[in-house]
Structure 1
Amino acid sequence: MDATSLGELRPDDPSRIGRYRIEAKIGEGGMGAVYLGRDTDGRAVAVKVVRAELAGDRTFLARFHDEAANAQRVASFCTAQVLEHGEDLGLAYMVTEYIDGPSLLQHVSANGALSPGMLHGVAVGVAAALVAIHSAGLVHRDLKPSNVLLSISGPRVIDFGIARALDMASSHTRTGQVVGTPGWIAPEQITTQQVTPAVDVFAWGCLVAFAASGRNPFGQGSFQIMAARAVHADPEIGDLPPSLTGLVQASLRKDPAQRPSARELLLALVGGSGEAAVTTELGEMWTAPPGAPAAAPEATRAADPSATSQDVPAPVPAPRPQPQPQQPQPQPEPRTEPAYERRTDPPTAREFPAPAVRGRSRRGVFAASGAAVLLVAGVVAGAVYLNGRDSHGARNAAAGAAAFPTAPMFVRVDTAPGWPTTCNADIGVYRPGDASARTLVSGPTCDILPERSPDGRRVAFTRIDRRSGEAWVVNADGSGARKVTGIVRGTRVTWSPDGSRLAYVGEKDGVRQIFAVAVDGGPATQLTTDDSLKDDPMWSSTGKLVFWSKAETRDEQIYTMDPNRPGGPYTRLTGGDGRAVDPEWSPDGSKIAFVRGPADRSDIWVMRSDGSGAYAVTSGAARDMDPAWSPDGRWLLYVRGAVTDPVIHAVRATGTGDRLVTPAGRVFGHPNWS
């Protein structure tokens, strides 16, 4: 928002919107106009006012306010923070902080390609902004040079969270119309496939290549020509520095599943060399562009500098799960034996190819250590957290830091010591902060591993004795307990997405296999047929099963399969770093939490549904196990300590805010958030 390009107000422009006095017009686009405004305290803001005809579309209006509310969860590090949204004078509007400085498009058009320091700063800053945006469950969808502002403190990304509203407008978006800008949109947007965060990574690659050369990597031309090139042609990325070449090439892959995530881009760029890596990179290499102010204006700071606690954030709307669909995997020809496909390298290594050489190809490997993952994993939930502080040095309580849920959880309640040698376990309901749990299922039996049904009305659990196990179901109020089927002793059961079936581990010809059976009775369907040891099936909301198996390695590894195709193929997600067990799908099916490491000192990890982007959310010498997601997918419960004396902890899915949940002196296990 370059102050030199501000326009005078016309008679038909508003003089006030909501509580903001309008002073000048910043620009105008397909969705509406953007104005420079001031609040009652004199602070400069940018006010985006939606065109009147769009504001009359109820579908668009509902989506606009919904997406604006979601965008408010994105903290202000490397973004222009969304402050509020509303309606006034029959017009819908959204207010963001005002960033004083030219856009990347303006700067490159006027001055040519960026200097090496500024180029690296743009690459780092935009990647950091995408991590914040994606961590809040949003996809920008229209990232381009005009949506990156070059402020005194570094690049800032604007206009996130509103392209989807235009895409959903019922009467102003034609069927098949692509929302985005030619030259910056990904192939899957052009072919109208489902949009995921990978489209922003593609745009990041285009944007960095443009900043380095002044040219779009797919050239110039009509929308049809640019679209065809994006889908079919190889990009021309020019002479990028070696540190960026492989990353840009990887981000511009046609297959979205093969692109790195924004988090992986950021790890590669800053290297995890210190806890203030991102801020240091920008501070040492960034040079204020021409047109930027001589000192950082108040408007470029976080919108809420008075926030004082990362762990007690201001109330925010419950997040709407953002689907990150699993990309279709190539299926091998049918085989009599189950087929296995290894999907990833060890979770701490990602490949980024070097530029192609005529007649042959070279590949470069970026390896991020687990420590580096933890250092830069703080760049999540909308801010770069440095020992609980954001990049401005103030403790950040912005909406990106998820508040701890107060929803009750189902637990195993040990009524007497002795587990696991002697089992004295009931199924209970525990609400964080209470002194004790409420018993749901009690008696002389050993009842463990509660699993909530998708609609929350029932709970499945495992009942065991010295020789056998059974799958039981009970209503959420404790009534109607009944046996469903026999299972392998000590294993868990899991609900199908529609709540009509249970998957479990049983024995067939002396081999553990995964079966599915209708909750109301009927014959079981055998889903696996190989002779490997396997356990811990978990059904996702999208219909896939995840489980661990020793099919290909000495150690347990995690696999997925389509339960509608009994016998396989199975897709292997982990490998190379020892044991991986206890997989748990996130509520939206986009991520899997799991346990990695030896049984006596394991940690909780999270990866995407295709096995990529794995990182640790706990670490240390303690034994961490049994992860379980919160209903909003932003927290994880887990059990820490010896199996004889466990305690339940909770940690954000970003690895921050770890806390003890269960009261002292009470032994609970097998948590499952209701």
Structure 2
Amino acid sequence: MLGRLGEGGMGTVYLGRGRPGVTGYAGRLVAVKVIRPDLARVPEFRARFRREADIARRVARFCTAEVLDVVDPPDGLPYLVTEYIDGLTLAQSVSAEGPLRSADLERLAVSVAAALTSIHGAGLVHRDLKPSNVLLSSLGPRVIDFGIARALDAQTMLSQEIQRIGTPAFMAPEQANGEPVSAAADVFAWGGLVTYAGTGSFPFGDGPTPVQLYRVVHREPLLDGLDPALRPIVEVAMRKDPAARPTAQELFLRLVGMGPSTHPDPDVTRVIRSAAPVLAPPQRIGVDGDGPAATDRETAGPTPGDQTPGTRTPGEPRRGGGGRREQRTLADWLERKDSDAGPAGAGEQDDPAAPSRHGRWNRRRIALLAAPILAVLLIAALMPLALTTGGGQRPSREETAARVALAAEAVRNSDADLAARLSLAAYRISPVREARAALRTSFAASTASVLAGHTASALGIDISPNGRLLASTGADNLVQLWDISDRTHPVKLSTLTRHTSWVLDAAFSPDGWTLATVSYDRSAILWDISDPRHPVELATVLGHNGWVLDAAFSPDGRMLATSGYDNTARLWDVTDPRHPSELSVLDRHTSWVNEVAFSPDGHLLATASADRTARLWDITDPRRPRPLAAITAHTDYVWTVAFSPDGRRLATGAYDGTARIWDITDPSRPAATASFPADEKWVFDLAFSPDGKTLATASWDTTVHLWDVSGTGRPASVGTISGHGDWIQALAWTPDGNAIATASDDYTVRISRIDDASLIAAACADPSKQIDDTEWQRHIADVPYQPVC
């Protein structure tokens, strides 16, 4: 730690340097934000702080400060490590040098809108965008302190003032009122920030906090003196109604001249369309007289012979030595472009009484002039299809489909309907992996059948081997049996009420005639479901000294494995399900055993435990299980295990947010083949598809993530399934691999189709999800338009 940089509403910021050997930032200067002790004492705050900060690590780095590490020591204060950015804040710059000039202001507006687009695209809301949170670095404006304010939403926060974290002068009305805050609040703050940068005054004047909050809610912002090109956009951004404001992406695209707004509010569209483009996309930078790098930096303005950058009149000699190849730096070109900005810039340069500008070039001017380059980078990231390939070789249909699918993902968080239209178009161009992934993410939720039989959290789920029955368990102490032969119209067949506490899991026997259920009441129960409308209790299995957490049948149906809170797994002989008998106790774990799974050949058992390990057991002789290997790579509870259909791989998922895949060809020496983040926080369940090519993970983030595990190395994402309103506790594939059933804390079970035919049918049933000729030409120029349905 080298010194103290400052203090804010959430904690103190220090300057530090990474020690040798620190992964990711050894030797680098970093900013360390230590959370206030009174906030750190609130468990809900700490949990949300870690989650939101982890998400913040996904935000693109070119307009923000990179989040390098998140640390939450059990006996200390949590802190965040971010990239250290050397430069004045916007507040310091305006205080020392006054409001920004027009060109500088436009570049700032673009960079901050770009940063917000990236932040919102990662699923975050900044909540405290203000001049002191914008740094003017040598590479352009950078937004800092994003991604952790949401943690203050915890219900046990100390006061309404803390919950309302933010700076009154830049708060949105809904934030000032203590109402739920969305990305629209950041757009409002963007307007206030641009107003302050352009006028040097707060958008609602000075005064004590209560007075400013009243004005935010009831008065219009003070925009006198703001650049006329920006004022119409700022007015719309600072509307009182959050739904009437444009998105950050719409602001960005308008500011860089990439086309009109598509905001659903016609007034927003009208205002943004009527505003002249603030900044046209920069032209190509050349080095041999054909582009801006070859212009004469010493000339005060364009000569009569000049046309657009990068062109010259026929017969006109090249500048810089009559065609001599002239090498100039990017900084030279940027400085030249600024001097050409117009009469204001020229007047300042020509005024002999004007002070020297060199000091400002080293700080604010260079920082702000880098913004157009950053804008080009974000355009490339968000809208790769807005620019055509030009004179090069036309891409293949497969390449075009992949790029359209990636564009769909880039805009999904800001415009889900556009993402859906691009996803369907990408698939129609070519059903490459990326297009199929985008199609699943866009339409799987709309294919779902919802089973709403539970009155509390749905905790467990299984599907019979023939795919006709589904069993779900819940915190209402119930087991529900469903006929899902027609997946669009599931029918509830019966409700099992024998358990006296939460029912955590259910498992079908391989022949589909027996069901096992396990509960917090310390029992497992075997049921005859040959007539699923009238299940018959066969036997109660007792033996665990604590809650029974999971159950699984062996592939031949002759054994049942259970796991419990007593740190053991147990094997039972269920050859006669009316008279089960205990075969053995597996007792190597040092904390509760959450899940058990049999290998396809029945020779191995895998166990997952809260002691942060998974274990493999040889159960060829089930009366004498032999421990083979302990998997110790996870850093938190190992919550779930699953064998691949061929038995050659084992997948593990944990509370450290990762899923891992192991080669168990030699089960005594599992070899790690892949480790990847499957959730920001916890992985609750996972399962291989029937063909073994896809792994599904159930997550704390309320979605199912699908991963391509057909090859080697880190799996690629092949789509997500959304629709639940709370954590997904369990999942199961249908035997044909065309659908996934999920159980959630939102009390529901959903069966979502992921086969291409069902997804296309869902897409074509909704005209708003079908791209038209005009939109096709705007986003896809590589192949001719074709109807998608």
Instruction: Please report the TM-score for the alignment, with normalisation by the length of structure 2.
Output: 0.40
- Name the one with the larger helix percent: 2
Q: Which has the larger radius of gyration?
A: 2
- What TM-score does the superposition give when structure 1 sets the normalisation length? 0.46
Structure with the larger RCO, 1 or 2 (CA within 8 Å, 6+ apart): 1
